[in-house]
């Protein structure tokens, strides 16, 4: 399990703050003010902290992450498993996830749950680490890096699986060069592949 204090330090660093702000801004463009949003893999509540005007419930399977989120952000957070979400069918307008799906072995169970809880015209937004980017590849090579815990290391294969459940599109986003956030849609530089769409019914 990722060390919570290390993650807090990353989120509060200049680089981490830039990453989180760009990710939050990307997700926000797909949210409506009245949306009921579930943030799966919320961690310490970085998204909730940056989007306080939205009705976002953060969910994580780590008690330590949830405790830290409660301490840092005034938002609802719940302990839960992405493969068996404690949410009623059709109760969510937007399912969002940041750097989470690629770490979960049973991705089909997660995606089936996402489709189940989303309203018929609900929005799915997942920001996935791009294993073609040098930033992620360097993390995979670095001993002790959190990236070494990636279960799905073929980003194209993972997005193909998502598109079995979601009708939508993907792109490259969030360029990283020398731990500086830049504008780039180059697969070797863009650290994130966002997948956005609606449930395939």
Q: What is the average per-residue pLDDT within 47-76?
A: 96
What's the chain's average pLDDT? 95
Q: What is the pLDDT of residue 195?
A: 98
Angle, CA 32 vertex, CA 113 and CA 58 arms, to 5°: 45
Given a cut of 60, is residue 1 above it in pLDDT?
no
Secondary structure in 3-state letters for 104-121: CCCHHHHHHHHHHHEEEE
Write the pLDDT tens digit of every residue in 33-51: 999 999 999 999 999 999 9
The number of domains in the chain is 1
Write the pLDDT tens digit of every residue in 97-114: 999 999 999 999 999 999
**Residue 128's domain spans which residues?**
4-199
- List the CATH number of the domain containing 77: 3.40.50.150
Write the pLDDT tens digit of every residue in 163-184: 999 999 999 999 999 889 999 9
CB 199 within 8 A of CB 165: yes
């Amino acid at each position: 399990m990722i060390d919570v204090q290390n993650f807090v330090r990353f989120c509060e660093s200049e680089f981490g703050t830039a990453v989180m702000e760009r990710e939050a801004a990307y997700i926000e463009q797909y949210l409506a003010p009245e949306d009921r949003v579930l943030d799966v893999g919320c961690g310490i509540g970085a998204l909730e902290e940056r989007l306080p005007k939205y009705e976002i419930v953060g969910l994580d399977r780590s008690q330590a992450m949830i405790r830290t989120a409660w301490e840092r952000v005034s938002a609802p957070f719940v302990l839960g498993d992405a493969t068996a979400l404690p949410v009623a069918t059709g109760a969510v307008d937007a399912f969002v996830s940041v750097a989470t799906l690629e770490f979960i072995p049973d991705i089909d169970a997660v995606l089936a749950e996402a489709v189940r809880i989303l309203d018929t015209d609900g929005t799915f937004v997942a920001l996935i680490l791009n294993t073609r980017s040098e930033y992620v590849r360097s993390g995979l090579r670095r001993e002790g890096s959190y990236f070494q815990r990636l279960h799905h290391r073929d980003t194209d294969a993972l997005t193909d699986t998502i598109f079995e459940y979601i009708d939508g599109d993907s792109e490259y986003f969030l360029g990283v060069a020398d731990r500086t956030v830049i504008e780039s849609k180059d697969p070797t530089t863009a650290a994130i592949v966002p997948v956005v769409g609606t449930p395939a019914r």
